[in-house]
Amino acid sequence: MTLRTRFTDLVGIEHPIVQGGMMWVGRAELAAAVSNAGGLGILTALTQPTPDDLRREIDRCRALTDKPFGVNLTILPSVSPPPYAEYRKAIIDSGVTIVETAGHRPQEHVEDFKAHGITVIHKCTAVRHALSAERMGVDAISIDGFECAGHPGEDDIPGLILIPAAADTLTIPMIASGGFGDGRGLAAALALGADGINMGTRFCATVEAPIHERVKRFIVDNDERGTNLIFRKFHNTGRVAKNSVSDRVVEISARDGAVFEDIRPLVSGAKGRTALETGDIDAGLVWAGQVQGLIHDIPTCAELVGRIVRDAQEIIVSRLAGMVAEKVTA
């Protein structure tokens, strides 16, 4: 038995489970492992330092799996942005068939991807943004609730509300993101109107995740309270794991008159990469969501995906169905 949805049909995968496109983590070994397990693995374009490096990483992923995988391209406002158009061209020229876009004003990129026959999933944090992306012509939405790691937006809407609210208005397939890590979450997401789930933090705590074992163990040992919300004052809220660095960022940001420059040295991406690669938890920010409270082991991707699907099926077919009884009349 399998769980077939509009999303699995759209992208040609076996199970409605997508790996989040995480900076420094979305590399070939993880994406291929997720795809080989029947889900959809995602490479993170900007993890690669140049578009040519991205081309090589796509080739490396193809050498590790013959299943569908995608590439994430996140567009962020910046005074010195990376060469997005060149990364986009690398994705197109490499024959990638699935792209996840996210971030600021993606229309130029969406239009080019669609012109080349690429299936586009757009990741967003609000129903209004999802509807805008649908009008733009994307093929699917990944809707990100307040529980998520990364940037949950400024509306603070948790998945229990956001998912059905989006399902009520969208006509294209939708996957639910933020707070998912087990079969209960998958069954719940499907019940709320989603066509699958996206998991980031949960896939960090797997054998194939290309991060240090101490970081994986840190995620396992944390609970649902082990996150901080940062950048709130600057209207760019991010959810990260609670460590000495994020505690310090929260403390400095709360001061009267605090500006972003006061915390910039603490939040650089290079320091976060150091934490992930060396296992020095206090070297920089470690991005993780509230789902840490549901993560208790470090399985292979195949073990994790298989377990989630089996548990979801059991919940849907046995537990929930067993609660439905015909009304007995005298």
Rounded to whole angstroms, the Cα distance separating 166 from 206 reads 30
Residue 97 maps to a domain:
yes
Do both 68 and 147 map to the same domain?
A: yes
Do both 30 and 166 map to the same domain?
A: yes
Rounded to whole angstroms, the Cα distance separating 172 from 187 reads 20
Do both 233 and 84 map to the same domain?
A: no
Residue 173 maps to a domain:
yes
Residue 286 maps to a domain:
no
Count the neighbouring beta carbons within 10 Å of the beta carbon of residue 144.
31
Phi, psi (deg, nearest 5) at residue 62: -65, -30
Do both 263 and 300 map to the same domain?
A: no
Do both 237 and 165 map to the same domain?
A: no
Name the average pLDDT for the chain: 96
Residue 260 maps to a domain:
yes
Phi, psi (deg, nearest 5) at residue 168: -70, -20
Assess contact for 229 and 239: CB atoms under 8 A: yes
Residue 287 maps to a domain:
no
Do both 133 and 246 map to the same domain?
A: no
Do both 151 and 59 map to the same domain?
A: yes
CATH number at residue 137: 3.20.20.70
Do both 141 and 198 map to the same domain?
A: yes
Please tell me the total count of domains within the chain. Answer: 2
Rounded to whole angstroms, the Cα distance separating 107 from 221 reads 40
pTM of the model: 0.95
Residues 6+ apart with CB under 8 A from 115: none
Do both 192 and 254 map to the same domain?
A: no
Residue 291 maps to a domain:
no
Rounded to whole angstroms, the Cα distance separating 280 from 296 reads 21
Residue 19 maps to a domain:
yes
Do both 145 and 231 map to the same domain?
A: no
Residue 222 maps to a domain:
no
Assess contact for 157 and 126: CB atoms under 8 A: yes
For residue 291, which amino acid is it? V
Do both 254 and 304 map to the same domain?
A: no
Listing DSSP states for 148-162 in one string gives: SSB---SS---HHHH
Do both 246 and 148 map to the same domain?
A: no
Range of the domain at 268: 227-278
Over its length of 330 residues, how does the chain's per-residue pLDDT go in tens digits?
689 999 999 999 999 999 999 999 999 999 999 999 999 999 999 999 999 999 999 999 999 999 999 999 999 877 789 999 999 999 999 999 999 999 988 999 999 999 999 999 999 999 999 999 999 999 999 999 999 999 999 999 999 999 999 999 999 999 999 999 999 999 999 999 999 999 999 999 999 999 999 999 999 999 999 999 999 999 999 999 999 999 999 999 999 999 999 999 999 999 999 999 999 999 999 999 999 999 999 999 999 999 999 999 999 999 988 888 776 665
